[in-house]
Structure 1
Amino acid sequence: MSSTLTQREKNRATALGTMVGAGIEWYDFYVFGIAAALVFNRIFFPGVDPATGTLLSFATFATAWFARPLGGIIFSHLGDRLGRKNIMLVTLILMGTATTAIGLLPDASAIGVWAPIGLVILRFLQGLACGGEWGAATVTAVENAPPGKRGLFGAFPQMGVPMGLFLSSGVSLLFYMLPEDQLLTWGWRVPFLLTLVFVVVGQYIRRRLPESEDFKEAAKNGEIVRFPMLEALRRHPRAVLTVFLGQAIINVTFFTSTTFILDYATKHGSFERTTVLAVVALAAVVDFFAILAGGLLADRIGAKRVYLTACAAGMVVFAAIFPLTDTGNIVALILGIAVLFPLVHGLAFGAQASFFAGLFPPNVRLSGMSTGFQFSGMAFGAPLPLLAGFLIATAGGSPWLLIAYIGLVGLISTIGTLTSPREYVPAASPEPATQAHV
């Protein structure tokens, strides 16, 4: 970005570039989850019974979680050594290419076993891109934030997550209303192919992003290290552990309420798939504004306080969501999925970037955050759809074991947040309020 641009123009480019770019990447990520929950069992695993096919579809969904740590390691290493901006451009192209290729992939009736193999490979590439995207976008936003607005700016790329969820749910809803034969023949492909348009827009916006001010300062002062991830693990192990444990409840609750719920609500609540998709899209809208509120609150009362409160509240909220879904009542479903869940998740997610970023110095910030974040996703997010289905089947169709598991993870996250390091290094121009500790 030209140095002649005003600070206001740079702020606008940072906010828009991190939020819209993240929204496009998460659209690509979630459109796969929707298809895995609703149609992939019949397209790529037609030779098995429906229940097994659904489990295999969720297994392909989980593939990305195992790729995300690798993507986080590769791209955060490059981001801490070469700069954040180019990483965001590369991850967007990689995600768009993989997603478009899924839309063009022949099904099992055409190429047999190569269809699910191809699906797994492309999902793995999605995971690599996603692993690099989150850290680069959130760190850039926080490091370019004006004084006293780390929470707000850190919330912008996080708002891209519900933006992508809303877009994927809305687009999928349009095509999942098609007659069954058209949906399974070509309708499911369109949401994947639309990625081409979104990536072009995202590249145009992201090219105007300014490079991180903290990174430029670290490079100028000769503070860049050769192996930033190893440096983060050696010098800041408690900070990495805080990110790992703190992110756990976000992984579990978010993907329970946006992916697994699509399968659960249609089978146990007897809702139509289009109804559940519409409720999830509504949840994304509420989540968008709740994340904004979380970022603003982080600047006023401290990111850690906001995050801790939301983690604790999540344990209570999820004790109610499944019973509400089981009623088969649309109002109850909306209350659980589109009101209670996004309010709790949004507040935590909005404060998360500024909280996590403050735990690390700039020269290892991207690597430290990405390592904890992505390995937490692999440990707690990857097995979630399969584990949730297993726990519900074990309990004879009742969700109480799953609710207990979510409560346990919430307790782990709460403890991890409470025990975070007190002597962390400030990010760019912090205000006292953002460093408040509980």
Structure 2
Amino acid sequence: MSQPAIPARQPARAATAAFIGTMIEWYDFYIYATAAALVFGELYFPSHDPFVSTMASFATFAVGFFARPLGGLIFGHLGDRIGRKKALMTTLMMMGVATVCVGLLPDFSKVGLLAPVLLVLLRIVQGIAVGGEWGGAVLMAGEHAPQGRRTFFASFAQLGSPAGLILSLVAFRAVTSMDKADLMSWGWRLPFLASSVLLVVGILIRLGVNESPEFQRVKDTSKTLKLPIAEVFRSAWGLVLLCIGANTIGIAGVYFTNTFMIAYTTQYVGVARSLILDCLFAVAIIQFCAQPLAAWLAERIGAARFLKLAALCAMVSPYPMFLLVQRGSVVPMVIGIAIAVVCMASFYSVIAGFVSGVFDTRVRYSAISLSYQVCGAIAGGLTPLVGTWLAHRYAGAWWPLAVFYTCLAGISLLCIAALDARREQRADVRDEAYEKAHEKAHEKARDPLAAN
């Protein structure tokens, strides 16, 4: 008698598990990003020139992004072959263990060159884990969703990003209030070691979620493919390229307004580390509130239309952001960064559900992971490096940075427009047409006159 109630709870449970799991994974990823901006340059890449140390530190940050496509390929294949849930349990374990190991890693003064080598290796493991995590979390939430609610439910996986950022900023704000000597010797390690507690929580939550019903139907009918990625390259490579471009501002914008902005404001605007972290914390809360509202609105006006509007707003947003950030005080900086982040986060919240619907269920994990992670390697990994180079090359001028951000948003706008123009090739449109025809046939069978 109680059996039917269990599946009824699964959509909310799957969305919650996607949110908690991605929050933990992004917490791990963001504490590395924050440490890269604040301490890793000095501890693992000591140099007489802070610019060189910062660039070297951000290079290890970029390595994690370059490893993400590999994680997307590996876990995309496993997720399309053996199931979304098993792939997600593995990625969570990998990320948690690698993050704790970073917290235990000796620095350059203790073991010399071995320290940055081990740091890079652990960063690669993190990159592979996140590369496999995102696609599975989006699909577990979206494929459990009630009919017509994929965009909203998939957005819960995206909501883990600002939540993880909030946790990481709280953790680093606490340790940066310490004496600098204590911070650099052991304080920075505490946020990494705390990941062990979050790992246990995440595993327990994910154990309570069933396998994706859409994947289960494919598996039950023996329609899984031996090489899903080969089918992606054979039949959907054009859509993959457009999805890579479409994700650009959603990925690059996060690391521009957070990771790069920490280095920019502390080195070029003269803002204290604690002040910019407080500003980013306030902005992260605004982002956390804005994302579900954006997903709700997108369901009502259409995902493609909403994404084009959000990308257009993102193209304009860096100019007021930099004008306000240059003032160097809390309120203008929060308002300025929040303008850019709300535009970017609105896009980021909706793009997951939109992209996941583009591809067939049999190859969906592989296709969206490849699209997102290749974009992450290029746009996410290089954005802090390009931003740092532009800030150094055009010292005292913010407009090259604003133009760079506008170009990133413009790429997403063009690709979303192209995807919308190719509606007949997308799986979500074909599925919607099939469901409408199927529903009409049922209505006609029940009442031929009403159907006419």
2:25 maps to amino acid: E
Q: Secondary structure at the match of 2:323?
A: helix
Deviations 1:66-99 (A, max 9, x none): 1000000000011011110111111010000100
CA contact (8 A) 2:228 2:363 kept: yes
**Higher alpha-carbon deviation: 196-205 or 52-61:** 52-61
Match of 2:81 in 1: 81
CA distance in 1, matches of 2:150, 2:429: 8
Match of 1:166 in 2: 166
- TM-aligned CA distance change 1:5 to 1:429, over 3 Å: farther
Match of 1:252 in 2: 252
Q: Secondary structure at the match of 1:145?
A: coil
CA contact (8 A) 2:65 2:377 kept: yes
Matches within 5 A, 1:342-361: 342-361=341-360
Match of 2:390 in 1: 391
CA distance in 2, matches of 1:281, 1:182: 23
Deviations 1:2-22 (A, max 9, x none): 966533421221011100010
Match of 1:426 in 2: 428
* 1:65 Cα deviation from its structure 2 partner: 0.7
* 1:296 Cα deviation from its structure 2 partner: 1.0
Q: Secondary structure at the match of 2:428?
A: coil
**1:340 matched to 2:339:** yes
Moved over 4 A (4+): 2-5, 427-432
* 1:259 Cα deviation from its structure 2 partner: 0.3
CA distance in 1, matches of 2:181, 2:59: 25
* 1:323 Cα deviation from its structure 2 partner: 2.2
CA distance in 2, matches of 1:12, 1:412: 34
* 1:431 Cα deviation from its structure 2 partner: 10
- TM-aligned CA distance change 1:429 to 1:176, over 3 Å: farther
Match of 2:445 in 1: none
Match of 1:222 in 2: 222
CA distance in 1, matches of 2:172, 2:392: 28
CA distance in 2, matches of 1:29, 1:348: 21
Gaps of 5+ in 1: 433-438
Match of 2:402 in 1: 403
CA distance in 1, matches of 2:287, 2:404: 23
CA distance in 1, matches of 2:119, 2:5: 44
- TM-aligned CA distance change 1:14 to 1:431, over 3 Å: farther
**1:325 matched to 2:325:** yes
CA distance in 1, matches of 2:127, 2:139: 19
* 1:261 Cα deviation from its structure 2 partner: 0.4
Q: Secondary structure at the match of 1:103?
A: helix
CA distance in 1, matches of 2:322, 2:3: 52
Match of 1:417 in 2: 416
Whose helix fraction is larger, Structure 1's or Structure 2's? 2
CA contact (8 A) 2:75 2:132 kept: yes
CA distance in 2, matches of 1:63, 1:4: 46
Q: What TM-score, normalized to structure 2?
A: 0.92
1:426 maps to amino acid: D
* 1:49 Cα deviation from its structure 2 partner: 2.3
Match of 1:233 in 2: 233
Across the aligned residues of Structure 1 and Structure 2, the Cα RMSD in angstroms comes to 1.7
**1:90 matched to 2:99:** no
* 1:346 Cα deviation from its structure 2 partner: 2.2
CA contact (8 A) 2:253 2:341 kept: no
Deviations 1:308-333 (A, max 9, x none): 11111111001221222111122110
CA distance in 2, matches of 1:409, 1:62: 17
Match of 1:298 in 2: 298
1:174 maps to amino acid: A
Q: Secondary structure at the match of 2:224?
A: coil
Percent of aligned pairs sharing the same letter: 36
CA distance in 2, matches of 1:417, 1:25: 27
2:99 maps to amino acid: T
1:405 maps to amino acid: F
CA contact (8 A) 1:287 1:345 kept: no
Deviations 1:197-247 (A, max 9, x none): 000000000111111111011112232111111211221123212210111
Match of 1:203 in 2: 203
CA contact (8 A) 1:44 1:115 kept: yes
CA distance in 1, matches of 2:127, 2:3: 34
Gaps of 5+ in 2: 435-452
Q: Secondary structure at the match of 1:146?
A: coil
CA contact (8 A) 1:155 1:294 kept: no
